Homo-oligomer: A and B are copies of this chain.
Amino acid sequence: MGEHIVKSFDEQLVEIRAKISEMGGLAEELLSDSLKAVQERNTEIAESVIKRDKRLDALEMEVEELTTRVIALRQPMALDLRLVIAALKISATIERIGDLAKNIARRALHLSKTRTNSVTGSIVRMGRQVLGLLTEVLDAWGRRDVEAAVAVWRRDQEVDEAYNSLFREVITYMMEDAKMISIGSQLLFIAKNLERIGDHTTQVAEMIYYVEEGTPLGDDRPKGEPSGLELD
């Protein structure tokens, strides 16, 4: 795509892209840190995640303001317009991802009082999986790489499956030991949050596709039946 005759317009678009990437990077950090917090039962890390989420909210506000301004002052058309709209939605999504990571961190705080257990492992594994997706989708955004985005969009299915098995695991685990119930419930929510994050990454993927191709990516995404309802 060539440059605009008016460079400052390019600059603003670049700034938007950059802010989105920044948000993405931060979200990745938060997620991986929150996972570490869960794994190592580490309260400081958890605390820091919770604090840093503020920054993410601030960034979202900035992007929103920036996009509004670009629309008001530049009357973007076609490609540019799609980019701006997408930025608006992606920023909201990433902000959500941040919230979810924060929420995981919170729950990590409480887990910290307990000692680790078998489930933790599989949770972290699922977490890594989600984190991987997130990283990929953000790279795709940076590289404006539609294929990569679509790939991520398809692979979210795996996350759903992982979630289901994890769900079953946690339930049985709680049944085995009634004292584990409250902890288990925390773990359940953590798993749920990770599943949500997976969903959100797909939304980002869809947006990338929309920006570059100009048409929405069909709604026929392969979904694993979510939130494990298939027992007894």
Contact = CB atoms under 8 A, between A and B. Distances in A.
Interface of A: 57, 61, 64, 67-68, 71-72, 75-78, 81-82, 85, 88-89, 92, 103, 106-107, 109-110, 113, 167, 171, 174-175, 178, 181-182, 184-186, 188-189, 192, 216, 219, 226-227, 229, 231-232
Contacts of A103: 226-227
A106 B189 contact: no
Contacts of A174: 174, 178, 181, 185
Contacts of A185: 167, 171, 174, 185, 188
A175 to B, nearest CB: 5
14 contacts: A68-B81, A68-B82, A75-B75, A106-B227, A106-B229, A107-B229, A113-B232, A174-B174, A174-B185, A175-B178, A178-B178, A188-B189, A189-B192, A189-B227
Q: Count identical subunits in the complex.
A: 2
A89 B87 CA distance: 12
A92 to B, nearest CB: 7
Contacts of A226: 103
Given A185-B171, A232-B182, A72 B68 contact: no
Given A81-B71, A110-B232, A188-B188, A175 B171 contact: no
Nearest to A110: B229
Contacts of A77: 72
Nearest to A67: B85
Given A88-B88, A175-B178, 11 more contacts: A68-B82, A71-B81, A72-B81, A103-B226, A107-B229, A171-B185, A174-B174, A174-B178, A181-B181, A181-B184, A185-B188
Contacts of A106: 227, 229
